[in-house]
């Protein structure tokens, strides 16, 4: 299996571990790390860890872009980079010992019309050349790309027989649904936004996921933070959860989940168990480190079709929407 990812707004993810976040002061970091970032990049990293082939398509610019490409090369991940005028962004996370995490995502470079076309053409060429089984479209759209950019990509990929998974939010997600992506992976906030109403319980999330399927998605893998995950597809509704001893950083946990889902075939219960095991493992690792097979505890995942409809949805530890 080859998973082609496209991340139109990738990043270098710098994480500082700090004792406590105090506004208006100089904070001294205990440790810091830099990870290659952006949602599709993370999916590629986790898919590679799971032993599958992957290629990451992304715009690259400036010294940050060169470092991102270098870091991915060190991880053995094939990169199809599209050179751009602007510089790749740097996103910063401040991680506190109790698991609270404050994240600053930069806007990223403006992508010009020629650069946008080069990205689309690169995705199309790589999909053919690598015989891609999946195209995974992930993350926010940078300035310069229209809201229907993913929609065009999904339509093109599906027409050429490549299955598509999409993890985006807001207008970009809404616009892409009509192009019928095979899988979408919203978190609770993204799901609420796309249906235009607040979600209080798992039952509300199930109804929202059904609505998203009616709008065009084949399957909805909804990640619900600490609660676990919901899969609503043509075969039914499944819920799975896994215990986590201590959360170190939840950045990229959703991306690890999507990778776990695809690595196990991208459908039904077995794939959901893999998704939850990947999410639970990812939050126990620093920064946006992606889990390796040895980090996974598949036997600890509880899976049920008896979905706990009344269970309240909780927010991330610090109430942040990421
Ligand atoms: N606080 C937590 N405790 C236990 N498990 C968690 C926690 N946060 C996340 N997870 C696991 O990781 C999965 C994905 O997390 P989440 O729903 O926060 O994704 P996300 O918002 O898409 O993340 P990101 O955008 O950073 O990749 C969850 O479904 C769950 O399995
Ligand atoms: O700004 P976007 O594209 O919505 O999200 C970017 C990002 O927060 O997503 C990944 C975690 O999922 C990080 O690697 C990266 O910094």
Query: What is the set of active-site residues?
Result: 255
Q: Which ligand is nearest to the CA of 239?
A: 1
Q: 139, 222, 223: which to mutate for ligand 1, most atoms within 8 A of CB?
A: 223
Mean pLDDT, rounded, for 116-121 = 97
CATH code 3.40.1190.20 for 2-18+31-304:
yes
Mean pLDDT, rounded, for 70-95 = 97
The answer to whether ipTM exceeds 0.95 is yes
pLDDT at 321 exceeding the cut of 50: no
Average pLDDT taken over every residue of the chain: 94
Q: Which of 150-164, 183-197, 306-320 has the lowest mean pLDDT?
A: 306-320
Taking the C-alpha atoms of residue 320 and residue 294, their distance in angstroms, rounded to an integer, is 30
Query: In this predicted structure, what is the pLDDT of residue 319?
Result: 39
Q: Which ligand is nearest to the CA of 44?
A: 2
Mean pLDDT, rounded, for 116-120 = 97
Query: In this predicted structure, what is the pLDDT of residue 320?
Result: 38
Give 267's pLDDT tier (boundaries 50, 70, 90): confident
CA of 112 to the centre of ligand 1 (A): 33
pLDDT at 48 exceeding the cut of 70: yes
Ligand 2 atom nearest 91 alpha carbon: 16
Query: In this predicted structure, what is the pLDDT of residue 89?
Result: 98
Query: In this predicted structure, what is the pLDDT of residue 265?
Result: 85
State if residue 287 touches ligand 1 by the CB under 6 angstroms criterion.
no
What is the per-residue pLDDT across 192-213, written as a single tens digit (0 to 9) for each?
Answer: 999 999 999 999 999 999 999 9
What is the per-residue pLDDT across 237-247, written as a single tens digit (0 to 9) for each?
Answer: 999 999 999 88
Q: What Rg, from alpha-carbon coordinates, does the chain have?
A: 18
Query: In this predicted structure, what is the pLDDT of residue 98?
Result: 86
* Class of residue 305 by CB neighbours under 10 A (exposed 0-12, middle 13-18, buried 19+): exposed
Query: In this predicted structure, what is the pLDDT of residue 322?
Result: 36
Query: In this predicted structure, what is the pLDDT of residue 99?
Result: 83
pLDDT at 162 exceeding the cut of 70: yes
Ligand 1 atom nearest 275 alpha carbon: 31
State if residue 148 touches ligand 1 by the CB under 6 angstroms criterion.
no
Closest CA to ligand 2's atom 1: 140
Give 287's pLDDT tier (boundaries 50, 70, 90): confident
The full set of domain ranges for the chain reads 2-18+31-304
Mean pLDDT, rounded, for 21-41 = 94
Mean pLDDT, rounded, for 159-181 = 96
DSSP states of 38-88: SHHHHHHHHHHHTT-EEEEEEEE-HHHHHHHHHHHHHTT-EEEEEE-SS--
State if residue 228 touches ligand 1 by the CB under 6 angstroms criterion.
yes
State if residue 250 touches ligand 1 by the CB under 6 angstroms criterion.
yes
Q: Which ligand is nearest to the CA of 254?
A: 1
State if residue 225 touches ligand 1 by the CB under 6 angstroms criterion.
yes
Q: 45, 224, 253, 260: which to mutate for ligand 1, most atoms within 8 A of CB?
A: 253
Q: Could you identify the residue written with the tokens 């910063």?
A: 92
Give 316's pLDDT tier (boundaries 50, 70, 90): very low
Taking the C-alpha atoms of residue 282 and residue 295, their distance in angstroms, rounded to an integer, is 8
- Tabulate helix, strand, coil % of the chain (nearest 5): 35, 25, 40
State if residue 40 touches ligand 1 by the CB under 6 angstroms criterion.
no
């Amino acid at each position: 299996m080859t998973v082609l990812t496209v991340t139109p707004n990738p990043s270098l993810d710098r994480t500082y571990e700090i004792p406590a976040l105090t506004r208006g002061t100089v904070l001294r970091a205990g440790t810091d790390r830099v990870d290659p970032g952006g949602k599709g990049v993370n999916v590629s990293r986790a898919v590679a860890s799971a032993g599958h082939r992957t290629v990451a398509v992304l715009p690259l610019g400036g010294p940050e872009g060169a470092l991102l490409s270098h870091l991915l090369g060190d991880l053995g991940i094939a990169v199809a980079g599209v050179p751009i005028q602007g510089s790749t962004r740097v996103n910063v996370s401040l991680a506190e010992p109790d698991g609270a995490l404050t994240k600053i995502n930069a806007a990223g470079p403006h992508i010009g019309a020629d650069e946008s076309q080069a990205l689309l053409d690169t995705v199309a060429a790589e999909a053919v050349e690598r015989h891609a089984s999946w195209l995974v479209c992930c993350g926010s759209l940078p300035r310069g790309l229209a809201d229907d950019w993913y929609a065009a990509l999904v339509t093109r990929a599906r027409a050429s027989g490549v299955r598509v998974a999409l993890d985006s939010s807001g207008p970009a997600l809404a616009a892409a649904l009509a192009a019928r992506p095979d899988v979408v992976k919203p978190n609770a906030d993204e799901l609420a936004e796309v249906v235009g109403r607040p979600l209080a319980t798992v039952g509300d999330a199930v109804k929202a996921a059904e609505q998203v399927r009616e709008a065009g998605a084949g399957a909805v893998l909804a990640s619900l933070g600490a609660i676990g995950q919901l899969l609503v597809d043509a075969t039914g509704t499944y819920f799975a959860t896994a215990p986590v001893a201590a959360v170190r950083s939840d950045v990229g946990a959703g991306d690890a989940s999507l990778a776990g889902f695809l690595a196990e075939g991208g459908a039904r219960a077995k794939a959901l168990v893999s998704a939850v095991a990947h999410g639970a493992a990812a939050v126990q690792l620093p920064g946006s480190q992606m889990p390796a097979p040895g980090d996974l505890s598949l036997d600890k995942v509880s899976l049920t079709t008896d979905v706990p409809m009344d269970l309240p949805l909780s927010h991330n530890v610090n109430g942040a929407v990421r």
